[in-house]
A and B are shown apart, each in its own frame.
Chain A
Amino acid sequence: MGRAGRFIVRQDEASTAVEVLADGRVRVGDAPDPFTVRTAGEGHYLVSDGSRTWRVAVVGAPDARFAGTEGLTARVEVEPEGAAPRKKARAGPGETAAPMPGTVIEIAVEVGQHVSAGDVLITLEAMKMELPIRAPRDGIVSAIRCRPGELVQPEVALVDIS
């Protein structure tokens, strides 16, 4: 423990540089005061900056790791600085993927049709709500990868646009 090193932590679009100091304390970004991190049980940490202490929980396999504190939670990816990026767990671009599992209630386009960025391609129903899946950019619909009534999973492209 207490191995000094530099890391990059990614959550969605944000990435933060983190340095573990020789004494085991952790400097996050350009914050002036490093944090002291104590273990308080399995995947459970007490993190202090000298004036305040946070309880933090961390769970999940390295490719699906979540951290949470004070009711906030996010998926985090931790990589040693300079290391080759870990193989992405999330599939493909997923530009036309469902944000959550849902049922296809309408397919608004056909193969070969020209679409403009923002056009509704598919309408899903999930959790009693209608969710439109929109074209991420201008292009031609080259494939439709779902059927009306199908329950689709997130991170899988529903429509290909070339």
Chain B
Amino acid sequence: MITRVLVANRGEIAVRIMRACDEMGIDTVAVYSDADAHALHVRAARHAVRLGPASPSESYLSIGKLIDAARATGADAVHPGYGFLAEHAGFAAACHDAALVFVGPPAEAIAAMGSKIAARRAMQLAGVPVVPGETPTDQSDASLAAAAGRAGYPLLVKASAGGGGKGMRLVRHEAELAVAVAGARHEARAAFGDGALYVERLVTHPRHVEIQVLADHHGHVVHLFERDCSVQRRHQKVIEESPSPAVTPQLRARMGEAAVAAARAVGYRNAGTVEFLLEGSGDEAHFYFLEMNTRLQVEHPVTEAVTGVDLVQAQLRIASGLPLPWRQDELFQRGHAIECRVYAEDPASGFLPQAGRILLFRVPERPGIRVDAGVESGSDVSVHYDPMIAKLIAHAETRDLAIVRARSALSEFDVLGLATNISFLIGVLDSEPFRIGAIDTAFLDVNGSAFIAPPPLPPAAIAAAVVHEERTAGAAAAGHARETPDPWSTLQGWRG
């Protein structure tokens, strides 16, 4: 069994992993950059090692420093979290070479899923549906044009090595193809050092539905059902839920089987997520393999809520060589869970990321609400890292009740000192398309501006600010004296 884990990450996910370790009696090692010396994740661990300056390349992305830190502290395992080096096959291999257990899949599985061309070929061989399209082996303009003709328009030209939309072009008609191929190839070379492209038919109005899988070292692979992540802004997930409002039991079974086949095809181990595009809904829907995320996902708590499985603890057990404790037919979804990602960004200024000090961070306390946060009151949000500061997860008996619960909790989530997207999240939850579950991945990019509240605060907030000013100024001037006892102020710790 693993005894001491170095968590090669920061923020909320580092804290969340350390809590799972604590509960399993596993010792924890935090790593930090100079920008994070006072961060929550550093205090959540039993041991902490400074990596270097704030820049990720000199801290959280430095494989050498991380391996050194693990050796220096006697760690026997490394958990990469998500982002940073989580999907870097070289890091998994470096851990292996240093006799450290990498809490994740083998380097070979990361590499197999890291190349879009290789992953797609492996999925086709395994019988997992893929979007119609192909990857010409000679990569000439003529071959790409012929491939485009067979896939059909509209289509996408994509970088094989890439992600995050870099090197991707939408082509509506044949006439646009030559320019798109040249642009995508140039961008792919610049971003990834590899100009290889593939073309695929554009799936119209797709939902993003992904399947969580777990695979142990004893040949067992199970899936933990779906998450619907169709609420995205520029390919960045904003709200995720399980179950998906578009998935029926029959479709769920088909997608689950496909995800398990995908994991088996690459010799997958540990937790992973197979992402699909879903076209249509219900038993008649088509789904196509998009990619596999070879790591723990940001949105893993919605699966934890509906299945009752602690995914991080499952990861640590699998990495320790223990078999999965359940069979597929022992896993169920119960109720409905919704996750809202809280970002330090200002919707009213084009979602500009915000940096600065959080003066107040007060988490709502309600039944069925979980908040995973990497900050607290007084934390500084730096410019160096991802602006996601917390995730709020609501779990209830039904989707309608989960929406109400998430909405109520968000309205009580006080983050003051810098702008956040909380009011935007409330707007999305309140919207009719979200409430009836009739959205696709373009929903926010098309309709998102409707959920941006104009900057001036509501008059009620102005009234409170004036009363606050009066009282604090009065208290400062008159010492402790008050003209009349205020029953509210005597109720210490009472929360509205």
A contacts, CB < 8 Å to B: 1-3, 5, 7, 9, 11-12, 14, 16, 18, 20, 26, 28-29, 31, 35, 37-41, 43-47, 49, 54-60, 62, 64-74, 76, 78, 99-103, 126-127, 129
Contacts and interface: CB of A to CB of B under 8 A. Distances in A.
Contacts of B285: none
Contact of A40 (B425, B460, B494): B494
Interface of B: 352-356, 359-360, 362, 382-385, 387, 410-426, 453, 455-474, 482-484, 486, 488-489, 491, 493-496
A11 B466 contact: no
Given A56-B461, A66-B416, A127-B355, A72 B453 contact: yes
Q: Which 7 A-B pairs have the closest CB atoms?
A: A71-B422, A71-B423, A56-B464, A127-B353, A28-B459, A54-B460, A39-B488
Nearest to B459: A28
- Looking at A28, A35, A72, A102, the one whose CB has the most chain B CB atoms below 10 A away is A72
- Looking at B385, B412, B461, the one whose CB has the most chain A CB atoms below 10 A away is B461
A1 B458 contact: no
Contacts of A62: 469, 472-473
A22 to B, nearest CB: 14
A44 B473 CA distance: 16
Nearest to B484: A1
A129 B411 CA distance: 30
Contacts of B469: 7, 62, 65, 78
A31 B458 CA distance: 11
B387 A127 contact: yes
A43 B355 CA distance: 23
Contact of B470 (A3, A28, A38): A3
A59 B383 contact: no
A35 B411 CA distance: 20
A39 B455 contact: no
Contacts of A46: 496
Contact of B464 (A29, A67, A72): A67
Contacts of A55: 411-412, 496
Contacts of B496: 40-41, 44, 46, 55
A70 B385 CA distance: 26
A100 B482 contact: no
Nearest to B491: A41
B468 A74 contact: no
B456 A68 contact: no
Given A58-B464, A68-B416, A100 B458 contact: no
Contact of B460 (A35, A71, A76): A35
12 contacts: A1-B486, A7-B466, A39-B489, A54-B461, A66-B359, A67-B462, A68-B457, A69-B460, A71-B423, A71-B425, A73-B416, A102-B383
A65 B465 contact: yes
A78 B360 contact: no
A44 B496 CA distance: 8
B466 A78 contact: yes
A59 B420 contact: no
A78 B460 contact: no
A11 B457 contact: yes
A99 B352 contact: yes
A43 B469 CA distance: 10
B419 A73 contact: yes
Contacts of A41: 488, 491, 493-496
A1 B465 contact: no
Contacts of B426: 70-71
A85 B390 CA distance: 37
A47 B470 contact: no
Given A1-B470, A54-B461, A73-B419, 20 more contacts: A1-B486, A3-B470, A5-B470, A9-B465, A20-B466, A41-B494, A58-B464, A65-B469, A66-B417, A67-B457, A69-B460, A70-B422, A71-B410, A72-B423, A73-B457, A74-B456, A99-B352, A100-B355, A101-B383, A127-B385
Contacts of B362: 57
A20 B470 contact: yes
Contacts of A20: 466-467, 470
Given A40-B494, A70-B426, A72-B458, A57 B360 contact: yes
B387 A3 contact: no
A29 B459 contact: yes
A47 B455 contact: no
Contacts of B464: 37, 45, 47, 54, 56, 58, 67, 69
Contacts of A5: 470
A71 B411 contact: yes
Nearest to A52: B460
- Looking at B382, B423, B456, B474, the one whose CB has the most chain A CB atoms below 10 A away is B456
A40 B495 contact: yes
B278 to A, nearest CB: 30
A16 to B, nearest CB: 5
Nearest to B360: A59
B51 to A, nearest CB: 18
Contact of B468 (A58, A99, A129): A58
A69 B383 contact: no
Given A40-B496, A44-B496, A126-B355, A59 B459 contact: no
Contacts of B412: 55
A39 B412 CA distance: 15
